[in-house]
Structure 1
Amino acid sequence: MLSLHTPISRMRIGMLLVCLPLCLSISPAYSASSQLQTSEAGNTYISGSDLVIATPIAADLFAAGGRVSVEREVGADAAVAGGSVTIRAPVRQDLRAAGGHVDIEGNTDGELVAAGGDVRVGEAAVVAGSAWLAGGDVTVAGKIRKGVRIYAGNIAISGEIDGDAHLYGQQIKLLPGAIIRGSLFYASPNDLIRDPSAQVLGTLTHEPTPPDWSKEHGPRRAMAWFHPFFVLSMLAAGMLLYVLFPAAALGPQRAIRQYPLRSLLLGLALVFTIPPVAILFMVTVIGLPIGFALLLLYPLSLMLGYLATAFLIGRQVATAAKQPEPASLKRYALFLLLALIVLSIAAAIPFLGGIVMIAAVVLGLGGWAVWIQTSYHGARTAHE
C-alpha cells in the first residue's frame, strides 16, 4: 500500500487515485443487480445516472454515476465516483471515492482516499488503514486506525484516530468525543476550536499557514478544479479527438511513454517560448498575422497537452486493471473520465496542485511535439 506521509506519496496518490469516474453517466442507468460488466480479470465496471450496487462484488469495483450507492460487500478494491456517493457495505481492500457528496458508512479494510464537495466518515465506519481526505467540508465521526491527512475548507473531528492526524483547513474543530491517539499537526489561518472533552494524546503542533490560505476562500479555492463542467468539457473534447483523429489521440501518449525526458524538455520549451515569439512577430507588420495566429492557437495547444497527459494516465490505469488494448469506445471514455478526475483532484491538493497541473500540460504538449517530429521523420524515411 502507498504511504500517505510524504509529499511525493501525496502526489503519487493524486496522480494514481484510481478513484474516480464522476458525476455524469456514459450509459443508460441501471442497478448492479440487473446489469454488470465484468472483465477477464474479474473486475466489475458500471456507469449510469442512478446506481445501486445490490449484489456482492468478488473482485475490484469501478463505478461512476449521478448517484452511486454501494449496498453489498466489495471483495477487493473499490473506485467509486458520482454526484452523490454512499458506501454502506464493507470494502475488503482500498476504497477510493469522489463526488459532490461522499458518505462513508461501511468498513474499509485497507486505505481510504476520498475527495469531493463534502466528505463524511460516519460513526459506524472503521478504516483499518490510513486515510487521505480532501474537500470543501470534511467530517470524521468514525474510526481511522493508522492516521489521517485532511485538506479542506472546514474540518470537524468527533471520532477516533489511532495514529497521527495532519489537518490543513480554514476552520478546524475537535468536537466532543474526538480522540487522537497520536500527534496532531495542523495549519489554519484561524484558531483551533477544541472541545474540553476532545483528547490529543500526542503532541500538538501548529504548523505555518500557507500564504494562499489567508485569503477569503483558503484551500476551498483549489476545489474549483473539481468542477463537473470542466471535467465533462474536457471529456467531450477528448472523445471528439479520439473519434475523429484516433492516431492523434493515441500518438502523443505513446510518445511520452517512449521518450519521457524529450517530451518534458520540448514541452517546457514550447510553453515558455510561444508567447514571446508571438509578440516578436506582432511587432513587425509583416509578421502580425503569424503572431495573432500563435496567440490564438496557444490556449488550444495547452488544452491538447492536458488531454494527452489525461489519455496517458487513463491508459496506465487501464493497464493496471489488466484491460487489453484496444479498448472499446465506451471503456476508453470511462478511463479518460477517470484520468480527468484524477488530474482535477490532484490539482486541489495544497502545495502540489499547481505543480501537477503545469506538469500535465508541459508533458502532454511535449508528447505532441515528439509525436509530430517522429511521424514526420518516419514518413520522410519511408518516402525516400
Structure 2
Amino acid sequence: MSSPMSPPMSSLYALPFRLRAFMLALCLSTPTIALPAPSQMQTSEAGNTYISGSDLAITTPVAADLFAAGGRVRVERDVGADAALAGGSVTVRGPVHQDLRVAGGSVDVEGNTDGDLVAAGGNVRVSDAARVAGSAWLAGGDVTLAGRVEKSARIYASNITVSGDIGGDAHLYGQQIRLMPGAKIRGNLVYASPNELARDPAAQVLGSVTREATPPGWSKAEGRHRGVSWFHPFFVLSMLLAGVLLYAVFPNAALGPQRAIRQYPLRSLLLGLALVFTVPPVAILFMVTVIGIPIGFALLLLYPLSLMLGYLATAFLIGGEVATVAKQPEPVSVKKVALFLALALIVLSIAAAIPFIGGLVMIAAVVFGLGGWAIWIRTTVNGGRTASH
C-alpha cells in the first residue's frame, strides 16, 4: 500500500474554518451513526484488520495493515504494516511499521512511524516522543510538530507550531507560523503567511529561508468571512441525513448512480459536464419565451437540488469503496451505510479544505455524481420500457 507523498503544492494554503467545520460535523454525527457494541472487526487471510465502531481501542498487535474508523480511535500496540484511521478523535501510541494516514477532529501521534505520515484534522499534534522515518504531510486548523521527521515536512494550517526536528526541507503555509526554541530544520525553509514568521532566536534553520508571495485572495479580511461556506457543519449533517433517508426509502436510487459512475466513469464525466454547464442557459432560453417561463423556473429550482444529488452520489461512491476495502458483506445495513457515508463526507471535506485543488475536487464530485444520476435514470427508464414490451 505504500505510495509516494502528495505532489508539491507550493501554492496551497489551509482553510481552518472548513477543517474545523467538517470535524465538528463528524463529532456531532458520530453518536447518531455509531455501531452497537461490540465493535465490528474482521481479519483477512493476509492478516489485515478492519474495524469500525463508536469507541475503538486497539490493544493487541496487528500483523499487517490496519483500517479503523469510529467516533474515538486509539491505537495502543504495534501495527505491522500500514495504518489508515479516521474518527472524531484519533490517538496513535503504538508504532506503525509502514505508512500512517489519519484524519480526525483531533489527531495525536505519539508513537513512531517507519514510513510516511499523512494527517489532517481540526487539531493535529505530533508529540516530542514521536519519530517519522519518512516524510510528513500535515493539515489542520492547528498543527503542532514537536517530534522528529527524518525527511521533509509540509504543513498547511491556520496556526503552525514547530518545536521538533525536521531532517530535510520544510514547507509551511499558514496564518501564524512559529518556530519554537527546540525547532531544528536541517534543510531549507519555504513558507508563506500574511504575517511575519515568528522565529525564536534559538530555533535553527541550517539551509536557506524563503518567503513565498501570499495569494491576493488570501487575506486576513477575507479570512473572517470564510465561515460563509457550503461546507458548514449543518451542510455536512444535512447531506448525511439526506443520504441515509434516501438509502432507507429508495436504496436503488442511492446505489444506482454510484454503480453507473464505477461502470462508466468517462461517460459520467462528460454527461455531468454537459448538464452542469447547459441547464442554466437552457432555463434562461425557456424564460425568454412566455410559454416557456414555467419550464425555465422549474429548471432553475431543480438545478441546485441536482447539484446536491450529484455531490451525494459521489459521496456514496467513496463510501462504497471504503466498505469494499473494509470487506463488508452485502447487503450493508443502514447503520453501516451511514458510517461509510459520513467517512466519505469527511474525505470530501478534507479535499475542500485545500484551496485551488480542493475546489476542483468538489467540482469533479458534483460532475461525476450528476453524470452517474443521468446514466442510471436513462438505464432505468430504458429497462422499464423494455420490460413493458
Indicate the TM-score class for this superposition, using the shorter chain for normalisation: 0.7 to 0.9
Matched residue type, 2:324: T
The letter of the residue matching 1:44 is Y
Does residue 141 (structure 1) correspond to residue 142 (structure 2)? The answer is no
Equivalent pairs, count? 371
**What displacement does 1:203 show?**
2.7
Write out per-residue CA displacement over residues 333-381 of structure 1, whole angstroms, 9 at most, x where no aligned residue: 3322222111110110132111111110011101111222233333334
Q: Which runs of 5+ in 1 are unaligned?
A: 12-19
Instruction: Give 1:47's aligned residue.
Output: 53
Retained in 2: the 8 A contact 1:44–1:57? no
Task: Give the corresponding residue for 1:6.
Answer: 7
Residue-by-residue CA offset, 1:252-281 (whole Å, 9 max, x unaligned):
112212222221111112112222222333
What CA distance in whole angstroms lies between the structure 2 residues aligned with 1:116 and 1:230?
18
Structure 1 residues 277 and 383 mapped into 2: Cα distance closer, same or farther (>3 Å)? same
CA contact (8 A) 2:67 2:85 kept: yes
Please state how far the C-alpha of 1:159 moved relative to its aligned partner: 0.2
* Residues 35 and 336 in structure 2, CA contact (< 8 A), matched pair in contact too: no
Matches within 5 A, 1:254-265: 254-265=259-270
2:103 is matched with 98
- Residue 113 (1) aligns with residue 142 (2): no
* Separation in 2, partners of 1:137, 1:220: 19
Can you give the 5+ residue segments of structure 2 that lack an aligned partner in the other structure? 13-22
Q: Please name the residue that 2:346 is paired with.
A: 341
Equivalent positions of 1:294-309 (< 5 A) are 294-309=299-314
Decide which moves more: 313-322 or 258-267: 313-322
* Structure-to-structure mapping, 1:112-261, within 5 angstroms: 112-216=117-221, 218=223, 221=226, 228-261=233-266
**What CA distance in whole angstroms lies between the structure 1 residues aligned with 2:153 and 2:222?**
23
> Structure 1 residues 257, 67: closer, same or farther in 2, change over 3 A?
closer
Q: What is the SS of the residue equivalent to 2:217?
A: helix
Partner of 2:34: 27
- What does residue 370 of structure 1 align with? 375
* Contact 1:65-1:83 at 8 Å conserved across structures: yes
8 Å contact kept, 1:226–1:345 = no
Taking the aligned partners of 2:227 and 2:131, their CA distance within structure 1 comes to: 28
Residue deviations 1:199-222 (CA, integer Å, cap 9, x gap): 222232222212232243649948
TM-score, L = length of structure 2? 0.85
Distance 2:261 2:198 in 1: 48
Aligned partners of 2:350 and 2:332: how far apart in 1? 25
Give the Cα–Cα distance (whole angstroms) in 2 for the partners of residues 220 and 114 of structure 1: 26
Sequence identity of aligned pairs in percent? Answer: 71
2:15 aligned partner: none
- The 8 Å contact of residues 39 and 51 in structure 2, kept in 1 or not, is answered as no
Aligned to 2:74: 69
Superposition CA RMSD, Å: 2.9
Is the aligned partner of 1:37 residue 2:41? yes
Q: Corresponding residue for 2:17?
A: none
Moved more, 227-236 or 157-166: 227-236
Any conservation in 1 of the 2:39–2:56 contact (CA below 8 Å)? no
Report the residue type matching 2:167 in the other structure.
Answer: D
* Counterpart-to-counterpart distance in 1, 2:208 and 2:39: 51
Q: Distance in 2 between matches of 1:168 and 1:222?
A: 20
- SS of residue in 2 equivalent to 1:213: coil
Q: Give the counterpart of 1:87 among 83, 92, 111.
A: 92
Distance across 2 between alignment mates of 1:59 and 1:137: 31
For residues 333 and 94 of structure 1, do their structure 2 counterparts lie closer, same or farther at Cα, with a shift above 3 Å needed? farther
CA distance in 2, matches of 1:105, 1:151: 20
Name which of structure 1's ranges 367-376 and 139-148 shifts more when overlaid on structure 2: 367-376
Give the conservation status (yes or no) of the 8 Å contact 2:109–2:127. Answer: yes
How far off is 1:330 after superposition? 3.6
Determine the structure 1 residue equivalent to 2:360: 355
Counterpart residue type for residue 317 of structure 2? L
Q: Deviations over 1:21-60 (max 9, x none)?
A: 9431423565xxx645215454231221x44333333343
The amino acid that maps onto 2:211 is: H
Maintained 8 Å contact 1:153/1:220: no
Contact 2:114 2:134 in 1 (8 A): yes
After superposition, the C-alpha distances for 1:292-325 in whole angstroms (9 at most, x for unaligned) are 2222211211111011111222223333445455
In structure 2, do the counterparts of structure 1 residues 5 and 52 end up closer, same or farther at CA, with 3 Å as the change threshold? closer
